[in-house]
Structure 1
Amino acid sequence: MTPLIDVVFLLLLFFMLTSTFSTFGEIELSQAAGGRSAQGPTPNRAFVQLGEDRLTLNGSEVTLDELAETVEEGQVLVSLDDDATAQRVVDLLVRLRGREALSVLVLE
């Protein structure tokens, strides 16, 4: 029994030392508040529909690069198609993040 415990501890030690603890990038998501706020006028809104192979901005087909160049400020509402993948959503959010005057809301 003792040799078996030694082997288990050696395997445990081996896997602990050879595994990598990498950190993944984080995407900050904000929760939408209900109703209109009393902060002022409604910001410029852009409606984006995102699918696996499709990306439309206010009804016209665009690429991720064109979307990032076009939308600089205001509010972006993102509607997901049934075939939209999580990676595609992350790609979109990465392109639009880091802008002070832009808020992105992913609709359910």
Structure 2
Amino acid sequence: MSLRRSRPARRLSVTPLIDIIFLLLLFFMLSSTFSKFAEVPLSSARTGATLASGDRLFLRLAPDTLSLNGVAMDIARLPAAITERTGTGAPPVIVSSAPAVSAQRLTDLLVTLRSIPGAAVNVLSP
């Protein structure tokens, strides 16, 4: 004789599981950002292209400093300095960054250079 009574097997309800999945889906959809981030055009310098020495500007970007043709410069003053040197037409700007420069600092520089009308920016790869 068995003291335990056997119970019939109950069907498992999936309704609470579907409710939780729906709530999670709703939460992630509402908390996501669908805005497009700004794009910075980037071109790399090619070998073999020759320009006269007066026809280009050279920017050296380091983690703490920035120099334009060897002269130390603040990033906020850069557009004014380039337009003072070149007048109306901006020559190609060649950017060389030190290996320790963060991506954010390089992006800040590229956004600043993009505000100069007609500036063609080339980034040297390390």
Normalising by structure 1, what TM-score? 0.81
* Helix, strand or coil at the partner of 2:77: helix
Question: Could you say which structure has the higher strand fraction?
Answer: 1
Equivalent residues, number: 105
Is the aligned partner of 1:97 residue 2:97? no
Q: Distance in 2 between matches of 1:94 and 1:16?
A: 31
Which residue number corresponds to residue 25 of structure 1?
A: 38
Q: Shift of residue 66 of structure 1?
A: 2.3
In structure 2, runs of 5+ residues without a counterpart are 1-12, 84-89
Q: Cα gap change, 1:49/1:11 in structure 2, threshold over 3 Å: closer, same or farther?
A: same
Return the offset for 1:106: 0.6
Query: SS in structure 1 opposite 2:35?
Result: coil
Unaligned runs of 5+ in 1: none
Is 1:57 matched up with 2:74?
A: no
Aligned CA-pair RMSD: 2.1
Runs of 4+ off more than 4 Å: none
Larger radius of gyration: 2
Q: Which amino acid aligns with 1:7?
A: I
1:1-108 superposed matches below 5 A: 2=14, 3-36=16-49, 42=52, 44-72=55-83, 73-108=90-125
| Matched AA of 2:108 | D
Confirm or deny: 8 A CA contact 1:48 1:58 kept in the other structure: yes
